[in-house]
A = this chain, B = another copy of it.
């Protein structure tokens, strides 16, 4: 078993999230932006992760995760999402209050802890933001969700996830009543600025393109 530091784990997770379809190489700059650090620092770390066989790295050509690196990343995501469920279901946190804390808790290293937590929580399938929770074997099933921005007029669906996890965004959704489980129908699409008019609880509501891109629907 390779051990990974707090920082290395954050890099692995960032690379995972930045390569939606596997084998798609992630750039140094993209990682730097995701982790709010500098490109030179990223290059340093990429060398280290490559030495540990966690990523495939060829100078100037971006990186992909190795199988080991991907399993490590998925494991961190598993911990992150289970802790989020714990905070919301057991400690009564709101869904917009858990991300930062889970960002730290995900680095606590104990298989027994996380597997026990999963049992205690009743094997949840998704986290408070609708994201799927990998099982203990590292199997992660991404549900087929589409952003509101990709829906057609008159199409109906259930809000089942969000792409953005910031407090600011989630708080806005909460206030607008756009929470997981709600049914929405696309009433109209404004071509000019990409905003969308949706029907929610029989009320009409206009959301910006930015918001529409970050709400995920099961259609």
CB-contact partner of A91 in B91, B108, B109, B113, under 8 A? B113
A208 interface residue (CB < 8 Å to B): no
Measured CB to CB, the nearest residue on chain B to A116 is: B91
A203 partner residues in chain B, CB cutoff 8 A:
none
CB-contact partner of A108 in B90, B105, B109, under 8 A? B105
A123 interface residue (CB < 8 Å to B): no
Interface residues in A65-120 (C-beta closer than 8 Å to B): 87, 90-93, 97, 101, 104-105, 108-110, 112-113, 116-117, 119-120
CB-contact partner of A90 in B92, B112, B120, under 8 A? B120
Q: Is the CB of A92 within 8 A of B116?
A: yes
Q: Is the CB of B91 within 8 A of A120?
A: yes
CB-contact partner of A101 in B91, B113, B120, under 8 A? B113
Write the residues of chain A forming the contact surface with B, with a CB cutoff of 8 angstroms. Answer: 87, 90-93, 97, 101, 104-105, 108-110, 112-113, 116-117, 119-120
